Amino acid sequence: MCYNEAERSVRYCLKKILFFVFIPILLLTALSCRKEVEVVTLSTVSPVTPTPKTSASPVQEPENDGAYPTKTPQITFVPLPKSTSAGSSNSRTPTPTPEWATPYPSPTGKPLVDTPEYFEVVTVKKDTVVRKAASEKGRKDGKVREGNTFRCLGEEGGFYKVDLNGAERFLEADDVNHLLVPSLQTDTILIRTATLNIHGAESYPKLQSIARTITDEAVDIIGLQEVKRGTDTGSVSDSLKVLSELTGLEYYSFCKTLNYDGGIYGTAILSRFPIVAEDSWKLDGVKGIEPRYLSYVCALTDMGPVDFFNTHLCANAMYIKSINIASMVYYLRATGVRRFLVSGDFNCSPPRIYKYMKDINFVNVDMNTFGDGTSVKIIDNILYTSGYLVSRVDMVDFSEKSITDHRMIVCDAYLLPEE
């Protein structure tokens, strides 16, 4: 009797387990299989039609009848027209790329710097007077010495109009030789070049110390930053002219960035060689921050011309400074000059610039040029392209820290003849 009751109890438990466990599992499995079958069946019966591929309307390329570009620049800030789908409701043919957005990145689609076949210059035969007007009664404005060479701007009534360090002046035709000098390089050019932030030096003792250092290093061409001229607080009327006289670097070019304290402020280039071309371009930046420029001169040596740039980038956060850098690279490309030097206080280390300009080289890669040395700041530099070899790289410190908070970078630069 006991055995039968125990058997019934076991059977009853097995039925419960079968009903509440195994049957639900089987039902769930069946439902899952049914859904898979339905998906396969629907896919088979009603296949999804693939979306037809539409091709964008072709972009009309601008005409390029010149020799440029030799290659597309690495950085372009020109927004190209966006193509639209041919089947869309607002489909239209994209407008041609604007003229200033041609593959050569300049406002005209041509190089910003025009290198002529010949440079038109005048060479002074004897020490003579400079005049402000093309007349013997024209107001005198100093003298020039025998051997000085200036860019000729034209001839007026027995006088030649010349570019005298950024000012239009006149020299008597009988006192000069009018020449056309070929722009071709005839041999390797050696120039001793440098860069220095003079920290707004305006007192004669400071300018003397700076000039002495430049002279001791036998510099031929130097880029200067933070140059003040004719301010109310300066003890000299024109610091750049004083530096030119003290160093013997008779030719100079000034790039004004802003008005300052009753005078002007900016960057400058001093050269031992005649300056036969000059220009400057305002770099992109952020509104409310001091404007920055890239300046340019072409210095004419006995062996041919040398293209030299100078700049002073902002000292703000890197995301702001990167705008300056990219704009600088843009203009360097847009000039059309292929072999050049760039001096400057870049306020950043070489890798920051190399990111935007992979084919550039740096004179200074490890020398701290600013501050007291507690942190390494490789911010003053000279950039150079292929075609140049550099040697005798040095950093010159000033014994008197009050003269400038920067150190001068100087080197020998050899410009090799083009093959």
Could you write out the three-class secondary structure of the chain? Answer: CHHHHHHHHHHHHHHHHHHHHHHHHHHHHHHHHHHHHHHHHHHHHCCCCCCCCCCECCCCCCCCCCCCCCCCCCCCCCCCCCCCECCCCCCCCCCCCCHHHCCCCCCCCCCCCCCCCEEEEEEECCCEEEECCCCCCCCEEEEECCCCEEEEEEEECCEEEEEECCEEEEEEHHHEEEEEEECCCCCCEEEEEEEEECCCCCCHHHHHHHHHHHHHCCCCEEEEEEEEECCCCCCCCCHHHHHHHHHCCCEEEEEEEEEECCEEEEEEEEECCCEEEEEEEECCCCCCCCCCEEEEEEEEECCEEEEEEEEECCCCCHHHHHHHHHHHHHHHHHCCCCCCEEEEECCCCHHHHHCCCCCCEECCCCCCCECCCCCCCCCEEEEECCCEEEEEEEEECCCCCCCCCECEEEEEEEECCCC
Is the dihedral angle over the CA atoms 201, 202, 204, 205 positive or is it negative?
negative
Same structural domain, 123 and 247:
no
Say if 40 falls within a structural domain.
no
Inform me whether the pLDDT recorded for 43 exceeds 50.
no
Say if 64 falls within a structural domain.
no
Looking at residue 63, what is its pLDDT?
Answer: 39
Inform me whether the pLDDT recorded for 21 exceeds 80.
no
Say if 65 falls within a structural domain.
no
Looking at residue 18, what is its pLDDT?
Answer: 66
**Poorest-pLDDT segment among 29-43, 191-205, 380-394:** 29-43
The per-residue pLDDT for range 116-171, each reduced to its tens digit, is 999 999 999 999 999 999 988 888 999 999 999 999 999 998 999 999 999 999 99
What lies within 8 Å, CB to CB, of 310 at 6+ separation is: 195, 223, 224, 225, 255, 267, 268, 269, 294, 295, 296, 342, 343, 344
Inform me whether the pLDDT recorded for 112 exceeds 60.
yes
Peptide bond between residue 69 and the one before it cis (omega within 30 degrees of 0) = yes
Confidence band of 362 (pLDDT split at 50, 70, 90): very high
Mean pLDDT of the chain: 82
Q: How far is CA 231 from the centre of its chain?
A: 29
Report the distance separating Cα 40 and Cα 38, nearest Å.
5
Same structural domain, 196 and 178:
no
- Average pLDDT score over residue span 266-287: 96
Q: What is the CATH number of the domain that holds 130?
A: 2.30.30.40
How would you classify the pairing of strands 263-271 and 304-312? unpaired
Same structural domain, 129 and 230:
no
Same structural domain, 125 and 274:
no
Looking at residue 138, what is its pLDDT?
Answer: 83
**Poorest-pLDDT segment among 22-36, 91-105, 171-185, 258-272:** 91-105
What lies within 8 Å, CB to CB, of 215 at 6+ separation is: 246, 247, 248
Q: Which domain holds residue 167?
A: 118-182
Inform me whether the pLDDT recorded for 303 exceeds 60.
yes
For residues 407 and 395, the answer to whether their CB atoms sit within 8 Å is yes
Q: Which of 130, 156, 182 delimits the end of a domain?
A: 182
Report the distance separating Cα 112 and Cα 407, nearest Å.
32
Inform me whether the pLDDT recorded for 66 exceeds 60.
no
How would you classify the pairing of strands 388-396 and 159-164? unpaired
**Poorest-pLDDT segment among 137-141, 168-172, 338-342, 397-401:** 397-401
Looking at residue 30, what is its pLDDT?
Answer: 63
Same structural domain, 164 and 235:
no
Inform me whether the pLDDT recorded for 325 exceeds 80.
yes
Inform me whether the pLDDT recorded for 247 exceeds 90.
yes
Looking at residue 115, what is its pLDDT?
Answer: 87
Q: Which of 160, 182, 204 delimits the end of a domain?
A: 182
Inform me whether the pLDDT recorded for 53 exceeds 50.
no
Same structural domain, 129 and 203:
no
